[in-house]
Structure 1
Amino acid sequence: MALRLGTDVCTALTDYGTVLLDQRSGEYWELNPTGTIVVQTLLEGGEQGDAVDALVTEFDVERSQAVRDVTALIAQLRATGLVV
């Protein structure tokens, strides 16, 4: 399930993570390093499982927690229209 950003969404890397800006509404969201890894993995064509694997590899997190976190982030990004 690769994702792509909505047509009106742009990103910027920061020292802390990634900022997503919805140019339609002017709202922005800041992703922490964990969220950044998830989004980058999915935008590069990875599947949800690849994002989970990336979190487990990069951070000291249980696989079950990584699955919940990735699922929740994807749901939030879709609900806000940031990704399709």
Structure 2
Amino acid sequence: MTYALDPEVTTTEVEDGVVLLDQRTGRYWQLNRSGAATLRLLLDGDSPERAARALAGRHPDAVDRARGDVRALLDSLLKARLVVDS
């Protein structure tokens, strides 16, 4: 499965991450650097599993935690309709 930003969502890179604007509601969402990196990986076509492994990088013992973090972020973005299955 691949993911894309909803067409009504715009992004702006900021010093410590990324801000998402849902133009339908006017709500802003701010992701820190880790969240922004996760979002980029998912939007570039990585699966949640591959994104977690990439984020864990040099710390293979952290993959389980990264999996949970990636899944939680993705679930939140999908629920808020900021990201859609494509």
- Structure 1 and Structure 2 fold alike (TM over 0.5): yes
Residues 60/18 of structure 1: CA separation in 2 closer, same or farther (3 Å cut): farther
Residues 8/67 of structure 1: CA separation in 2 closer, same or farther (3 Å cut): same
**Which residue matches 1:17?**
17
In the TM superposition, residue 50 of structure 1 has moved relative to its aligned partner by 1.7
Query: Are 2:35 and 1:35 aligned?
Result: yes
**Which residue matches 1:76?**
76
- The root-mean-square deviation of aligned C-alpha atoms, in Å, is 1.7
Give distance in 2, aligned partners of 1:58 and 1:36: 19
Give the structure-2-normalised TM-score.
0.89
Q: SS of 1:62's equivalent?
A: helix
C-alpha distance after superposition, 1:32-81 (max 9, x if no partner): 11111110001011111121012101779711110110000010000000
| Percent of matched pairs sharing the same residue | 38
Paired residues, what number? 84
Residues 43/82 of structure 1: CA separation in 2 closer, same or farther (3 Å cut): same
Report the structure, 1 or 2, having the larger strand content: 2
Whether the aligned pair in 2 keeps the contact of 1:38 and 1:54 (CA below 8 Å) is no
Moved over 2 A (4+): 58-61
Unaligned runs of 5+ in 1: none
**Which residue matches 1:5?**
5
Give distance in 2, aligned partners of 1:15 and 1:33: 9
